[in-house]
Amino acid sequence: MRILCCFILLALPTMASADLTQVGQGEARWGPFKVYSATFFTPAGVTLEEALSEQTPARLELCYARSLTVENFVEGAQQALPESVSAELQQAVNRLHAAYQPVKQGDCYQLDFQPEQGTGLLLNGRELVRIKTVKFKALYFGIWLGDSPLSVQLKRDLTEKLHR
């Protein structure tokens, strides 16, 4: 249930997306079932640390192979996020979780970060919320790309073209 619940975010291009390069793609499975396809975009030639920094635009797209509920997303995120975060970051997480909507097969969530604009959550290209809290990008992208990702294999797939 952990991978099923939390791999949820992301969809279509934004203004600055022309500067982004696809650096990896993979899929999340729950047992034998494909849950979603994931694609990560960031400027060419950056390291993972740079890709997660507040100065680097990035986009993670998740396109779903099956229907999921808001509860699936929130439950999975709660399992993957650190147990203890600052009050400000927790408020940002709560705002993002409140913006989730159920998805059906073919829907795509996008987690889109632009410096100075923050992290946007989009569903099928429509922005649902934008979080400008500092360090939120690294926290939430960290579900897939951090030190303790939900899926080590998916992290490898998503970061395969980043500089080491």
- Quick one: pLDDT at residue 10? 36
What is d(CA 52, CA 33) in angstroms, rounded to the nearest whole number? 29
Confirm if 28 and 3 have CB atoms less than 8 A apart.
Answer: yes
Residue 52's pLDDT is what? 97
pLDDT at position 148 is 87
Q: 122-131 contacts: CB < 8 A, separation 24 or more?
A: 122/10, 122/11, 122/12, 122/14, 123/11, 124/11, 124/12, 125/11, 125/12, 128/99, 128/100, 128/101, 129/95, 129/96, 129/98, 129/99, 131/92, 131/95, 131/96
Per-block mean pLDDT, blocks of 10 residues, the chain (164 long)? 39 53 95 96 96 97 98 90 96 98 98 97 98 98 92 96 90
Task: For 76, list phi and psi in degrees, rounded to 5.
Answer: -65, -45
pLDDT of the residue at 15: 40
Give me the CATH code for the 2-158 domain, please.
3.50.70.10
Domain residue extents for the chain? 2-158
87-99 vs 70-80: helix crossing angle, rounded to 10: 160
Q: What is the pLDDT of residue 18?
A: 56
